[in-house]
Amino acid sequence: DAGVTQSPTHLIKTRGQQVTLRCSPKSGHDTVSWYQQALGQGPQFIFQYYEEEERQRGNFPDRFSGHQFPNYSSELNVNALLLGDSALYLCASSFTSGPPYEQYFGPGTRLTVT
């Protein structure tokens, strides 16, 4: 049983560009959450998707948007990249009717903005 997978592993973009990150949840999971982890800090909640809609959102600007597909996989899009967007982006999946603590994290995508 594959766990949470993310692609790509690493990404280098230039300031002002747009980026799309992808996440496939653990088998049987229907909810996907995205987190941003800046270097030396704890992950910060970006947003959560369930039934193809954004269910919760953290304190991130509208430049950050997402999507969830019918197969529960998800994308995170960031427009007009800033140097400060450089971070590890983590995806976590869970089953909405399961225990609230059962979130499984992927290995992350390392985004560098130059």
Partner 1 sequence: GNSVTQMEGPVTLSEEAFLTINCTYTATGYPSLFWYVQYPGEGLQLLLKATKADDKGSNKGFEATYRKETTSFHLEKGSVQVSDSAVYFCALTHYDKVIFGPGTSLSVIP
Residues near partner 1 (CB under 8 A): 31, 33, 35, 40-45, 48, 55-56, 58, 90, 92, 94, 96, 99-101, 103-108
Distance of closest approach, residue 71 Cβ to partner 1, in angstroms: 21
The Cα–Cα gap between 91 and 70 comes to 17
Contact (CB, 8 A) for 23 and 29: no
What's the min distance (Å) between Cβ of 88 and partner 1?
Answer: 8
Q: Cβ distance 3 to 104 under 8 Å? A: yes
Nearer to partner 1, 85 or 93 (CB): 93
DSSP 101: T
Distance separating alpha carbons of residues 43 and 37, to the nearest angstrom: 4
Which lies closer to partner 1 via its Cβ, residue 33 or residue 74? 33
Residue 113 C-beta: closest distance to partner 1, Å: 20
Cβ nearer to partner 1, comparing 24 with 48: 48
What are the backbone dihedrals phi and psi of residue 68, each rounded to the nearest 5 degrees, phi first?
-125, 135
Q: Which is nearer to partner 1, 78 or 90 (CB)?
A: 90
